[in-house]
Amino acid sequence: MIGKFLQRVAWRLRGWFERPHLRRVERVEELSDVPEYMERDVVVLAGPAARPKWAVFLCPCGRGHRVSLQSTHWPRWQLRLDRGRPTFFPSIDVPNEDRCHFLIVNGRIRWARTSSQRSNSR
């Protein structure tokens, strides 16, 4: 109980100093070409440049798990690039132990109210 409380306080403090952004977009031909090690601010698009099939990036919660979005399965995420900054819609909901639910708009992370990480964006 106290551990969860301290974890949430730490996340809140971290949010004041470090706001996650996706600043760079890299492209690869195949999903298998996505590097094992990824930087936190990079989105890797896999597939044809005109219409990539996958978008892969580290979850902005900072716990190190990857988010892989496929454009051909439900929900069908759409990607828009504005001066190299990605916007994904609809929102991204990663159901894990601590739910990660967020929007990416112009590379900025906006936590949804349903996310246990939402204090990170304040």
- What mean pLDDT comes out for the span 77-86? 89
Q: CB count, 10 Å around CB of 11?
A: 17
Nearest to 62 by CA among 83, 34, 82, 40: 40
- pLDDT tens digit string along 51-76? 899 999 999 888 888 999 988 777 78
- What mean pLDDT comes out for the span 46-52? 91
Q: Model pTM?
A: 0.76
What 3-state DSSP class applies to 78? Answer: strand
